[in-house]
Amino acid sequence: MKKTMLWGIVGLSVVATSALAGEGDRVKAIKDRGELICGTSTGTTIGLSTLDASGKWAGLEVDYCRAVAAAMFGDPEKVKFAPLEFKNAFAALQSGSVDMLARAAAWTYTRDTEMKFDYAGVYMYDGQGFLVKKSLGVTKLADLNGASICVSAGTTTELNLSDYFRTNKLEYTPIVTNSREQNLANLEAGRCDAYTNERGGLAASRLGLSAPDDYVILDEIIAKEPLGPIVQQDDPAFRDVAAWTLFTLINSEEKGITSKNVAEMASSSENPEIQRMLGKTGDFGAKLGLANDWVVKVISSVGNYGEIFDRNLGAGSPVKLARGQNELWSKGGLLYAPPVR
Amino acid sequence: MAVSDQNMATGIWSGAESDEADAQPHLGPRQRWARRKAILQQAAVLLLVAALAVFVIRNTVVNLQARGLASGFDFLWQEAGFQMAFSLISIDPTSTYGRVFLAGLLNSLLVAALAITAATILGFAVGLARVSPSAPVRYVARGYVEIVRNLPLLLHLLLWQAVVLRSLPTVREAIGLGGFGFLSNRGLYLPAPVAGDAMAIAVAMVVTAGIAAIVAGWVTRGRAQARGESPPRFGPVLIAGGLIANAVAIATLDWQIPVLAGFDYRGGLKLMPEFVSLVAALTIYNSAFVAEIVRAGVQSVGRGQREAALALGLPPKLILRLVIVPQAMRVIIPPLANQYTHLIKASALATVVGFPDLVNVFLGTSLNQTGRAVEIVVITACVYLALSTTVALATSAYGRRVKLVER
Amino acid sequence: MAHSSVSGTSSPLVPTTAVRRLLATVVANPFGTAVCLGLAYLAWTLGLRIVDWAFVNATWVASDRAGCNPDGACWAFIVNRLPQFAFGFYPEAERWRAWIVLIAPPLLLLLAMAPEFPGRRKVLVGGFCLYPVASFILLSGGVLGLAPVPSEKWGGLLLTMVVGIGAFVFSFPVAILLALGRTSKLPAIRLIATGFIEFWRGMPLIAILFMSVIMLPLFLPPGVEFPRLTLAMTGITLYSAAYLAEVARGGLQSVGRGQSEAANALGFGFWAMQGYIIMPQALRAVLPGIVNSAISLLKDTTYVMVVGLFDLLNIVTAALSDPAWLGLATEGYVFVGLVFWSLCFGLSQVSARMERDSERAQLRAPNGGRKAS
């Protein structure tokens, strides 16, 4: 009796494995689950992903995840955020415990090739800079010779820092921690002399210090940091959804579609590209496996890229970061999404 | 050997017995059925475990293939490209992942070794205070134990990290320790001996003194035992000799005293605060448990033992050394070893404060950079299992020794 | 200390005896006395400063750090965040469910400390065994007309309780099976149980949590998924089961062979024998050890911080980076410390009481509590 049961379990599990083994389908898994799982920071990356006292997530990366959820389910709340320390983030994506990472991770060769990830575009063009206390009198990087520098574990900034100081024959002590708040606390306590990270992130993080004006970001940029959403390579369809959600956010800003006018645009716009985007004509949604009015859902729930940036990092936020390179190509920035055709 | 086996799981004992029973030539139908049933049951469990293993391995292979992930141990020879804030062997950005692994392992072992030593000393002191004849001393020791052991280790660690060490002054306002060492929130700076002839001589002196002490102790003990007397007390002589040898060694060394230059002190030995807080938290937390083990050990020695020794006219100090301690140690050692295993594993909390131990740099950073999850998880698991097995083997070896001595 | 015993007694002789005893101790142990006086002085000065900081100069009501007296503790931080520390992000409208889950364990503990009444043990054991399942259903909702609340919203002390007690109760049956396996007569089963126990005991809990939460999906069939909380709890449960199994094994060894032989002779089957005869004796013998395991487990739940679950310690740590309340690590961690200390100390008192009770019971037993062996 007991044995029969055992064999039953073994047999069932083998059958279950073989039945499921053929599925590599991330989109199907997400739809079956009924929500997207997005790997984010531990909730302290001001401007990108923060978790407030009531458990509400906010930030540019968070809004991007909500946009993907809105695209797939028509509901921006159908997303679960998994707070991850950076040094665990890629392992979590590889193991499949999160569907995508929107976690201030720069697009690099190794991550794209050897680690078998796919980047679905870039939502923030940034560069690696240094935040230092004004009172130290440091004006350029060479002044930091012999300094202790705070950096997050397992990041590209950690590697860039090491490369830069090595090639420039400068000495430094890395103070490696797992999160922004630890780095900031260390910087504030004088445990390290400088904190290196993306400049945009530093500008936002500075607000987490008790006296933000006592600190300055050095002008020098030691490396490019193109931040984008990362997915696994196992399902091209999901990558397409992730990429075209991002492109749509950018294209909408370019076409002047905002959360306020999207409903009106959807019904009355004469522009054929806008009509295609908003699902009035063509099958923009169907080819991605989404509802045809998915863009309307996305834009009406989180707004276009400009609105998202403004709300979290730009003029509408305490960070007051200038758009800079994160401006549309037509306005001298780097944001350039493929056309909907 | 046979004696100690008796002390192991009764299951093994009964297993051996049932084997004997099986070896008997004439088996009744009930015994035959029982025997067959045993074989079938074991086969079923083994099959189940094997099926589970196949299931897991198959899933892993399928998942790895679906994600196109590379596998293999070749990454150990690849350049890691990151630096470590603290390592016993030299690490630079061109070091391989293999070397990073080694450095992380050594850091873990260093933390564990230091914390074990300190926790043992502190724990024995507190434990003996717990059974002190003076009531106030007992209460103070009890208070210490109750406060310390009822707080989570992680909280101890964060308290040290975020409260004690972060409230230290910055490096420019470092607290001077007699002009030789300095204490700031960047760590503890101590003078370090300069490697050279002087160091070789000093090390040779200390080693010689140690060997001489051991030999002297061994010879006199042997002689005393041969005569049936209690061995002469060498403690004070040995301590004095050792102190003199060490003092001479310290004096002959060239010491490099840290000096503030630019952003930081240069020269000498620097202990980073993460290291200090980790060792401090591990020491204090575990010392409370060691203290309780020591107390239980001492109390396990019956009153009669002490009374009998008194009746025999042994002086109180000798009673402690010859009667109480040897018997208490037999009770103390097994749980103490358990506590050591706990401590070794708990040193992995280094990852929370950012000290580059094995789990932090290997299971953390290296795994994130290379994506070789399965390999790295397997290597890390093997290391920790090897460490705990080593402690267990050493304990059972000790257990065998004291058992034989007793009989 | 001697004077404290005075008030409780009416005999006029006692004070002099106590004083004399104290004097005798002082004379007999001058070194210890000196140490004590030194410590007492230290405690006095330190105590005064602590009282000043924690009470005299403390601020209880303020809206941010700037509103706090810098010379004293800023308890306003804790007061403001208390609901979050207690319940995490559990929706306010549904907090009553969290309240029940939070209040039940202390009530059960009080019951454990209460004087003996018929069926007390049954209520206790039943309460703790039902607790994890009941609290899971109550908290997650979706049945009985309760609104569903995803486990991501659980946090703070609530999560600590659910993880700690849940993992402990679930680890119990696993531990008993493992202990039976390790003491089994069948070598294959013994080997597997031993290997399993030693594996989980040999691994750091941090590594176990990392593997179970971050890496486990790699070992599962594609499409099979569990919430992070479940994964973390599975890891902690197996870890705890391995330790508990060793405690249970100690208990099994304390039950004499005669017991199982007698049971066999009476025709008991294996499971009936374990369930009715061996296990009740074995577990009673190691009851304090079991409670100690529970205490360690409760403290170990703080490790879920490394996999991004917001238990009490992690939620306080996260709140420390709130720009409005920067630099209050001391207050935050002292608060966490007080909560954990009360819980663990309370449990250890229960354990001590059980030890006393069983000693008394053994003294009352007809054979003087002698164990057959």
Q: Which residues of C touch A84 (CB under 8 A)?
A: 214, 308
- DSSP secondary structure string, C6-28? TTT---THHHHHHHHHHHHHHHH
Residue B73, pLDDT score: 86
Query: Are the beta carbons of B159 and C201 separated by less than 8 Å?
Result: no
A5 — pLDDT class (breaks 50, 70, 90): very low
Above 50 in pLDDT, residue C33? yes
DSSP conformation class of C153: G
Q: Which residues of C touch A28 (CB under 8 A)?
A: 223
**Exposed, middle or buried: residue A250 (CB in 10 Å: 0-12, 13-18, 19+)?**
buried
* β-strand partners of A130: A196
C18 — pLDDT class (breaks 50, 70, 90): low
What's the whole-number average pLDDT of chain A?
86
Determine the distance from the C-alpha atom of residue C199 to the mean position of all C-alpha atoms in its chain, rounded to a whole number: 23
A308 — pLDDT class (breaks 50, 70, 90): very high
B18 — pLDDT class (breaks 50, 70, 90): very low
Q: Which residues of A touch C315 (CB under 8 A)?
A: none
Tokens 């005293």: give the residue. B257
Structure token pair of residue B397: 């070896």
Give B140-195 pLDDT, tens digit per residue.
899 999 999 999 999 999 999 888 877 788 887 888 777 778 888 888 888 877 76
Above 60 in pLDDT, residue C4? no
A37 — pLDDT class (breaks 50, 70, 90): very high
Helices (H) and strands (E) in chain A, counts: 13, 14
d(CA B278, CA B118): 12
- Among C36, C15, C12, which Cα is nearest to C25's? C36
Query: Are the beta carbons of C183 and B346 separated by less than 8 Å?
Result: no
Above 50 in pLDDT, residue C2? no
Q: What is the CA radius of gyration of chain A?
A: 22
Contacts of B260 (CB under 8 A, 6+ apart): B171, B172, B174, B182
Averaged pLDDT for residues C252-278: 83
Helical (H) or strand (E) element with B261: strand B259-261
Q: What is the ipTM of this complex?
A: 0.84
Residue C292, pLDDT score: 87
C16 — pLDDT class (breaks 50, 70, 90): low
Residue B15, pLDDT score: 41
Q: Give the gap in angstroms from C-alpha C94 to the nearest C-alpha of chain B.
A: 30
User: By three-state DSSP, how is residue A119 classified?
Assistant: strand
Q: Which residues 313-332 in chain A show a CB within 8 A of chain B?
A: none
Residue A115, pLDDT score: 82
- DSSP secondary structure string, C174-209? HHHHHHHHHT-S-HHHHHHHHHHHHHHHHS-HHHHH
Q: Which residues 78-97 in chain A show a CB within 8 A of chain C?
A: 80-85, 88, 91-92, 94-97
Query: Are the beta carbons of A146 and B264 separated by less than 8 Å?
Result: yes
Cβ contact C317:B158 at 8 Å: yes
Cβ–Cβ contact A97 with B under 8 A = no
Residue C211, pLDDT score: 86
Share of chain B above pLDDT 90, in %: 25
Query: Among the listed ranges A62-76, B240-254, C210-224, which one has the minimum average pLDDT value?
Result: B240-254
Q: Which of B9, B42, B56 sits opposite C186 (nearest CB)?
A: B42
Cβ contact B171:B258 at 8 Å: no
Q: Which of C210, C224, C323 sits opposite A88 (nearest CB)?
A: C210
| Higher local confidence (pLDDT), B302 or A78 | A78
Cβ contact A148:A193 at 8 Å: yes
What's the whole-number average pLDDT of chain C?
83
Query: Are the beta carbons of B389 and C198 separated by less than 8 Å?
Result: yes
Chain A: partners with 3+ C-beta pairs within 8 Å: B, C
Q: Which residues of C touch B41 (CB under 8 A)?
A: 186, 189
> Angle A187-A188-A191 (CA atoms, 0-180°, nearest 5)?
50
Give B96-133 pLDDT, tens digit per residue.
999 999 999 999 999 999 999 999 999 999 998 888 87
Structure token pair of residue B190: 């101590």
Q: Which of A23, A185, A208 sits opposite C223 (nearest CB)?
A: A23
Above 70 in pLDDT, residue B40? yes
User: By three-state DSSP, how is residue B313 classified?
Assistant: coil
φ and ψ at A126, to 5 degrees?
Answer: -140, 175
Residue B300, pLDDT score: 86
d(CA B361, CA A181): 20
Residue B206, pLDDT score: 75
**End-to-end Cα distance, chain A:** 64
Tokens 């051991």: give the residue. B214
Cβ contact B299:B131 at 8 Å: yes
Longest Cα–Cα distance of chain B, Å, equals 88
Give just the sign of the alpha carbon dihedral A139, A142, A146, A152.
positive
- DSSP secondary structure string, B67-130? TT---SSGGGGSB-----SS-SS---TT-BHHHHHHHHHHHHHHHHHHHHHHHHHHHHHHHHHH
Residue C273, pLDDT score: 85
Q: Which residues of B touch C235 (CB under 8 A)?
A: none
Structure token pair of residue A18: 């073989």
Q: Which residues of B touch A178 (CB under 8 A)?
A: 351-352, 354
Above 50 in pLDDT, residue B136? yes
Residue A246, pLDDT score: 95
Q: Which of C65, C214, C221 sits opposite A97 (nearest CB)?
A: C214
A23 — pLDDT class (breaks 50, 70, 90): very low
Cβ contact A329:A247 at 8 Å: no
Averaged pLDDT for residues A334-338: 92
Q: How big is the B-C interface in CB pairs under 8 Å?
A: 175
Q: Give the gap in angstroms from C-alpha B258 to the nearest C-alpha of chain A.
A: 14
**Chain A residue with Cα closest to C65:** A210
Averaged pLDDT for residues C354-366: 70
- b/e map B121-160, b = 16+ CB within 10 Å: ebbbebbbbbbbebbbbbbbbeebbeebbbbbbbbbbbbb
d(CA C140, CA C151): 7
Cβ contact A37:A102 at 8 Å: no
Averaged pLDDT for residues A30-36: 90
**Chain C residue with Cα closest to A96:** C217
Above 60 in pLDDT, residue C12? no
| Higher local confidence (pLDDT), B219 or A157 | A157
Share of chain C above pLDDT 90, in %: 22
Q: What is the CA radius of gyration of chain B?
A: 27
Q: What is the dihedral of CA B379, B382, B383, B384, to 10 degrees?
A: 130
DSSP conformation class of A74: S
Residue B25, pLDDT score: 58
Query: Are the beta carbons of A85 and C306 separated by less than 8 Å?
Result: yes
> Angle C209-C210-C212 (CA atoms, 0-180°, nearest 5)?
60
Averaged pLDDT for residues A126-142: 91
Residue B399, pLDDT score: 78
Averaged pLDDT for residues C25-32: 67
- Angle between helix A60-73 and helix A26-33 axes, rounded to 10 deg: 90
Q: Which residues of A touch B373 (CB under 8 A)?
A: 91, 94-95
Give B191-215 pLDDT, tens digit per residue.
877 766 777 777 777 788 778 777 8
Query: Among the listed ranges A194-208, B35-49, B125-139, B259-273, which one has the minimum average pLDDT value?
Result: B259-273
Tokens 């460490």: give the residue. B387
d(CA A67, CA A73): 10
| Higher local confidence (pLDDT), A6 or C229 | C229
Give C303-325 pLDDT, tens digit per residue.
998 888 899 999 998 888 887 88
User: By three-state DSSP, how is residue C227 classified?
Assistant: coil
B83 — pLDDT class (breaks 50, 70, 90): confident
Averaged pLDDT for residues C36-44: 83
Cα A229 to Cα A99, A123, A252, A323, B212, distances in angstroms: 10, 8, 19, 19, 67
Query: Are the beta carbons of B133 and C29 separated by less than 8 Å?
Result: yes
Cβ–Cβ contact A116 with B under 8 A = yes
d(CA A335, CA B79): 34
d(CA B216, CA B218): 5
Q: Which residues of B touch C182 (CB under 8 A)?
A: 9, 11
φ and ψ at B187, to 5 degrees?
Answer: 135, -175
Share of chain B above pLDDT 70, in %: 87
d(CA C203, CA B382): 9
Averaged pLDDT for residues A208-228: 90
Structure token pair of residue A23: 């599925």
